[in-house]
Amino acid sequence: NLESGRRTDEWSQCLRSIAKHRDRSAFARFFKQFAPLIKAFALSGSTLSANHADELVQEVMLKVWQKADGFNPDKASASTWVYTIARNCRTDLYRRLQKFDTPLSADDVSLDQDGEEPAVMLHQRRTRDRIRSMMDTLPADQAHILAKVYMEGKSHSEVASELDLPLGTVKSRVRLAIQKLQIQMED
Amino acid sequence: MAKFHPDLQMLTEFTAGTLSLAQSACVSMHLTYCTKCQEISEAQTAMAASLFEDLEPVSVSDSQLDIVMSRLDEDAPLTYPKESKGAQSSTPAILQRLMQGDFSDLTWKKITSSLRISYLTTGDPYYEFALYHIKAGGVIPEHNHRGSEMTLVLEGGFSDSDGTYHAGDFLFREAGDVHSPAALADEDCICLAVLDAPLKFTRMRHRWMNPFLQLKAS
Ligand SMILES: [Zn+2]
Ligand SMILES: [Zn+2]
């Protein structure tokens, strides 16, 4: 809807000011909007302590400042961009806590969203808008599973045992949600 | 264009960031060959971002903002472009990073006259991450899997009783599956294999190899 369109624009513009003018007051506004969501994301898996959650918020926001230059509003909304940074930082933090000694960061391994072809960008934007508008129409049981998978960062089998459901049910709910959002898929 | 893909569960766990490091590196490399899986993963990211926007905010104290503001002048960590430029760019960038050179710079361990294996270090303690080089026309002896095996074809191709696989194709075998892959006749095959338990060769005359195949996760 219109309002969320405007809201998205506001934060995209905010990121542009941060990138172009190194605008600290824009950064502070951005922090006030997104830091509480990042903290909620950090704590949603309930395996990180409050200290680690704060550490994650700092790390993600510092990356926002450092990487704002690479933000392209034609490819992603501000919140999608922040979400991917938060997701990758959280994955790296888990691995650090498990004492992984690795040359690969989650950034290295995650999907590179740097495709520059206009057709791809338009496609991504349409997909993104459609998905945004349809998320609210998902049945509660599907939305619940998606939240566990994407926000709490649980594997399908962890979700299955936590909710006492067969693994097949978890898989089919994820599949149904994705079909409902009309993501093209065959297999 | 790849014909064999990770299933939706694997792609979902990859996108959510919950797949093990070695496995996500393998899925990520498949995506460099496959726009179809890229699109699904991108759409899933948009879905996840929408859940993220709707989280119940948890208050963050002003002192956290002060700490971050005071660190803004720190130097950003160095970053390198992911896509390598130049002639050898058909090798996925993650692999180039891990190999620190090309296939000929690696240490290959000879297993049979047609199979050599080179182990790479990802830092993932749970999964072995290795390159298999199968000579044109060569066969990997029949074996079953005590754990799972993820395979991505990088060069050439191979076939088994279920099909023929070419560069970019992704396969996943569960514990207990038995097969005997053979490289295509006209070209050597290089593939990446990510295993959570060592292979076990089933035929008696190949049993002596099993001790060579202890899991090398690192
Ligand atoms: Zn694919
Ligand atoms: Zn096998």
Spatial distance between the Cα atoms of A4 and A72, rounded to a whole number of angstroms: 18
Question: Is B39 part of a structural domain of the chain?
Answer: no
Q: Is the Cβ pair A127, B68 closer than 8 Å?
A: no
The alpha carbon of residue A2 is apart from the nearest alpha carbon of chain B, in Å, by 16
Indicate the range of A4-18, A94-108, A110-124, B91-105 predicted with least confidence: A110-124
Residues of chain A with CATH 1.10.1740.10: 2-137
Closest residue of chain A to B38, computed from CA coordinates: A111
Mean pLDDT of A9-18: 93
Class of domain A138-182: mainly alpha
Question: Is B123 part of a structural domain of the chain?
Answer: yes
Q: What is the ipTM of this complex?
A: 0.90
- Are B21 and B98 in contact by the 8 Å Cβ rule? The answer is no
pLDDT confidence band for A6 (50 / 70 / 90): low
Question: Is B161 part of a structural domain of the chain?
Answer: yes
Max CA distance (Å), chain A: 53
List the CATH number of the domain containing B168.
2.60.120.10
> Which ligand ends up closest to the CA of B148?
2
Selected residues 151-170 of chain A with any CB under 8 Å from a CB in chain B: 151, 153-156
pLDDT confidence band for A183 (50 / 70 / 90): low
Q: What is the pLDDT of residues B132-163, one digit of tens each?
A: 999 999 998 888 777 889 999 999 999 998 89
Question: Is B84 part of a structural domain of the chain?
Answer: no
Mean pLDDT of A39-63: 93
pLDDT confidence band for A158 (50 / 70 / 90): very high
Q: What is the DSSP letter of A151?
A: I
Q: Which is higher by pLDDT, A48 or B7?
A: B7
Q: Mapped to the 3 state alphabet, what secondary structure does chain B carry? A: CCCCCCCHHHHHHHHHCCCCHHHHHHHHHHHHHCHHHHHHHHHHHHHHHHHHHCCCCCCCCHHHHHHHHHCCCCCCCCCCCCCCCCCCCCCCHHHHHHHCCCHHHCCCEECCCCEEEEEECCCCCCCEEEEEEECCCCECCCEEECCCEEEEEEECEEEECCEEEECCCEEEECCCCEECCEECCCCCEEEEEEECCCEEECCHHHHHHHHHHCCCCC
Neighbours of A11 (CB within 10 A): 21
The alpha carbon of residue B129 is apart from the nearest alpha carbon of chain A, in Å, by 13
pLDDT at residue B116, as a whole number: 94
A2-137 belongs to CATH 1.10.1740.10: yes
Question: Is B46 part of a structural domain of the chain?
Answer: no
Contacting residues for B25 by C-beta, under 8 A, at least 6 apart: A104, A109, B94, B98, B122, B129, B194
- Radius of gyration over every alpha carbon of chain A, rounded to an integer in angstroms: 18
Decide if pLDDT at A186 tops 50: no
3-state SS class at A53: helix
Q: How far is the CA of B169 from the centre of ligand 1 (A)?
A: 8
pLDDT at residue B75, as a whole number: 79
Provide, as residue numbers in chain B, all residues whose Cβ is less than 8 Å from the Cβ of A102: 21, 122-124
Decide if pLDDT at A187 tops 80: no
Per-residue pLDDT of chain B (218 residues; tens, 9 = 90+): 899 999 999 999 999 999 999 999 999 999 999 989 988 898 899 899 999 999 999 999 999 999 999 999 887 777 666 554 444 457 888 898 898 888 888 999 998 899 999 999 998 888 999 999 999 999 988 887 778 899 999 999 999 988 999 999 999 988 888 888 899 999 999 999 999 866 666 665 555 555 555 556 55
Question: Is B67 part of a structural domain of the chain?
Answer: no
Task: Please count the structural domains in chain B.
Answer: 1
pLDDT at residue B87, as a whole number: 40
Decide if pLDDT at A3 tops 50: no
Decide if pLDDT at A2 tops 50: no
Q: Does B8 touch chain A (CB under 8 A)?
A: yes
pLDDT at residue A46, as a whole number: 72
pLDDT at residue A47, as a whole number: 79
Provide, as residue numbers in chain B, all residues whose Cβ is less than 8 Å from the Cβ of A61: 68
pLDDT at residue B76, as a whole number: 76
Domain containing residue B209: 93-213
pLDDT at residue A101, as a whole number: 87
